[in-house]
Structures are given as C-alpha cells and as structure tokens.
A and B are shown apart, each in its own frame.
Chain A
Amino acid sequence: MMHIDRGLGAGRRAAALAIAVALVAAPTALAQSSAAEGIAKYREALQDGNPAELWEARGEGLWKEPRGPAKASLEQCDLGLGAGVVKGAYAQLPKYFADADRVMDLETRLVWCMVKLQGTSDADARKNPFGNGTDRKSNIEALVAYITSESRGVKMNVSLAHPKEAQMYKVGDKIFYFRGGPHDFGCVTCHGADNQRIRLQDLPNLTKVEGAQKAYTTWPAYRVSQGELRTFQWRLNDCFRQQRFPELEFGSDASIALTMFLAKNANGAAFDAPAIKR
C-alpha cells in the first residue's frame, strides 16, 4: 500500500482514501443497525463497575502522599482554581498560568507541580505518561483519572480571555486542519464529517459542537481492549500514530494547542469521565 501511495499525487491519494473509506462503510443497513443496537446494549452493561475507579483511587493516593525529594504531596498544587482545589478544575483546563507564563493542560500542570512542589526533575516527572500493565504503571494517568473524576458533572468552561489562550486555540485549530505525512492525513480526515467509521467504530465529527462535546467529555476512559485507563493525551498521541505523523511530544505546545482547541469546542457540555470504552 505504502509504495503505491508514494507514486500517487496528493489528489489521487485523497481519492484512493475516499474509496477506501467508502468501502469500509459498505455493510448492509440492516446488519449495521442491529449491530449498533447490540453494541449500545453492551456499552450500557459495562457502565456499572468501571475499572477506571481503580486508577482514580490510586491517583487520589498519589495526590495526597508526600513524595519526591521534597517529600511533599501535591495537595498544594494549583490546577487553576487555587492551591489544592481539585473539584471542577479539569473543566476549565487548559488555561494560562501566570506563574509559568504559559498555557498548560492538566498533564503539563501536574509535571510543573511535581517539579516545583516535590522537587522531582522535569525529565523524571514526564517520563512515563502512558502505563502498560503492572510493571509499568503511570502515575500521571492515575493522577489524571483522579482529577478528572472530580469534574464529573461539571460543565466544560474553557476560557480564551488571555491572549496566550486565544493564541493556543488558534494554533490548535490550524493543527486540526493540517494535512501531511505519508498518507496526506490530518485530524480532519477522520473527524471532519458525519458518519465516518473505522470498521464498526463511529468516529465523532469534531468540527461540530455535539461531536466535540461528546468526544472530549468522555476521556479519560478505561479501554476495554487494552485493560488500561487512557487519557485524552493518549488519544491524541494514538491519532498521530494512526496518521503516521511524527510522535506528538508529551507536554509540547502542539499537544496543548490541540487539547485547547477540542476542550474549548466542548464548552457547555457536562464533563462525564472517566468513562469506559471498547
């Protein structure tokens, strides 16, 4: 597939992609609707007893436990609503933090607090953003699970009042529509129209308010297929991988900008995560 693609112009490649998408979306309407109904029931049955709670509990412990060279907890960390306020904080992130003179998302802010409060080195704080099994648990994922759970039911309310926030949003907008890589792909390729799917997976149209709201407010999620809690940050990273883009650097402005773009577009919807997904 790859070597054929290289021989095609951008337009031909786009056409080939369109055909591939159409073919994937071709099963009979009947099979589609009954399968969709069945899968909706499956998802409903999973709601009771979400293993994400195991991450939330571990994250709460990590938040309160004195750790790092400074033997300090994160309880004085300012997530934007004042030192130590966790409730509702995630629904207003990313935001501009004067002490860092930077727009930060939750992960970036956590790294900042681990460095400033706990005396952890920046490299150590950011070295394991995505866990894998019992041997490589990610503290960041657990903390994100706990902190986001404290915004459940809170309406998304991300501000662009500060010029740097407005600028971040603009950059995120640009990245969302930017196409590149070996497949001439962009976020918008999959998430710019209604009723797109990868096999049975519906892909949200993130250019519409409802799509952005439904997607953003349901991450992090316990990913059934992986048996892991995955953060929105992970979702972005994996989208980059699927697009064959260079790795999205953890805590980079590009990742904060995309998060800002999608979080702001979700404004007005009640946050509803950690969720559980296939």
Chain B
Amino acid sequence: MADPMKIRASLVGDTTEVKVLMSHEMETGQRKDAQGVVIPAWFIQTVTVTHGGKTVLAAQWGPAVSKNPFVSFKFKGGAKGDKVTIAWADNRGDKRTDEATIA
C-alpha cells in the first residue's frame, strides 16, 4: 500500500493554503530496466480535494507529473479545525485518501 500523503493546510486571512506531497513512483512507461524491458507506466490519474463535502480542487494527471508529486493551491471558506480530505487514484487501481486539519 502506498505511504500516507503529507498534507499541510493553513489559514491565512480568509484563505486556506493547501500543500500536499504524495508518495508515488509516477513511472512514465517510457523507461527501460537494466534488461532492456520497458517499465510499465504507473501513475496517479485523478486527485480530488474536498472540504466540507465540497470539491475544492479536481485534477487529472498524466505520467509527466514528477515522482512524489507536489501540489499547492488556495481556497476560500475554510476555518481552523476544519478537515481537508485528499484522495488519489492511479492507473493500477490503487487508491489513497488522507486528511489534514486546517491550522
């Protein structure tokens, strides 16, 4: 199973800043191993960030997003103590959901 995400959600004024690191190989499918065999593509395809039951960011990714992906963005309407939930799914069907408390 994939390692937990590292999520930071902090309130600045009326804006919640979210920074997330995900543990994922993001293998492109273009590389070959030492035996010359193509390493199959393996990457996160969808990411959804929700706050209070509402989607605050939805993303679709290809394998050109860097290994151990990082995303930073801001939304309005969060309050200290609220939960921000982030979910990803990859092309192998692996999924991971983590949450963080807005500080």
A51 touches B68 (CB 8 A): yes
A227 touches B3 (CB 8 A): no
Which residue of B25, B68, B72 contacts A54 across the interface (Cβ within 8 Å)?
A: B68
A133 proximal to B (CB < 8 A): yes
A227 touches B68 (CB 8 A): yes
Smallest CB–CB gap between A142 and chain B, Å? 9
Which residue of B25, B66, B70 contacts A134 across the interface (Cβ within 8 Å)?
A: B25
A92-126 toward B: CB 8 Å interface, digit per residue (1/0)? 00000000000000000000000000000000000
Question: Considering only CB atoms, which chain A residue lies closest to B20 in the complex?
Answer: A49
Smallest CB–CB gap between A60 and chain B, Å? 11
B23 touches A54 (CB 8 A): yes
Which chain A residues in 38-76 approach chain B with CB under 8 Å? Answer: 48-51, 53-54, 57-58
- Using C-beta atoms within 8 Å of the partner chain, give the interface range for chain B: 10 to 19
Q: CB-CB < 8 A to A54: which residues of B?
A: 3, 6, 21, 23, 68
Which chain B residues in 1-23 approach chain A with CB under 8 Å? Answer: 3-4, 6, 19, 21, 23
Smallest CB–CB gap between A62 and chain B, Å? 11
- Contacts between the two chains (Cβ within 8 Å), count: 30
B6 touches A53 (CB 8 A): yes
Question: Considering only CB atoms, which chain B residue lies closest to A222 in the complex?
Answer: B68
B25 touches A51 (CB 8 A): no
Chain B interface, DSSP helix/strand/loop, else mixed: loop
A53 touches B3 (CB 8 A): no
B96 proximal to A (CB < 8 A): no
B67 proximal to A (CB < 8 A): yes
B25 touches A133 (CB 8 A): yes
CA of A133 to CA of B2, assembled, Å: 12
CA of A104 to CA of B71, assembled, Å: 39
Chain A interface, DSSP helix/strand/loop, else mixed: loop
- Using C-beta atoms within 8 Å of the partner chain, give the interface range for chain A: 10 to 19
Question: Considering only CB atoms, which chain A residue lies closest to B5 in the complex?
Answer: A54
B4 touches A227 (CB 8 A): no
A57 touches B4 (CB 8 A): yes
A48 with B67, Cβ < 8 A, contacts A54-B3, A54-B21, A58-B3 known: no
Smallest CB–CB gap between A151 and chain B, Å? 19
Listed in ascending order, the chain B residues whose CB lies under 8 Å from chain A are 3-4, 6, 19, 21, 23, 25, 66-68, 70, 72
Task: Supply 20 A–B pairs (Cβ within 8 Å), ascending by A.
Answer: A48-B19, A49-B19, A49-B70, A49-B72, A51-B21, A51-B23, A51-B70, A53-B6, A53-B21, A54-B3, A54-B23, A57-B3, A57-B4, A57-B6, A58-B3, A133-B25, A227-B25, A227-B66, A227-B67, A227-B68
Given contacts A53-B21, A227-B66, 17 further A-B contacts (CB under 8 A): A48-B19, A48-B72, A49-B21, A49-B70, A50-B21, A51-B21, A51-B68, A53-B6, A54-B3, A54-B21, A54-B23, A54-B68, A57-B4, A133-B25, A134-B25, A227-B25, A227-B67
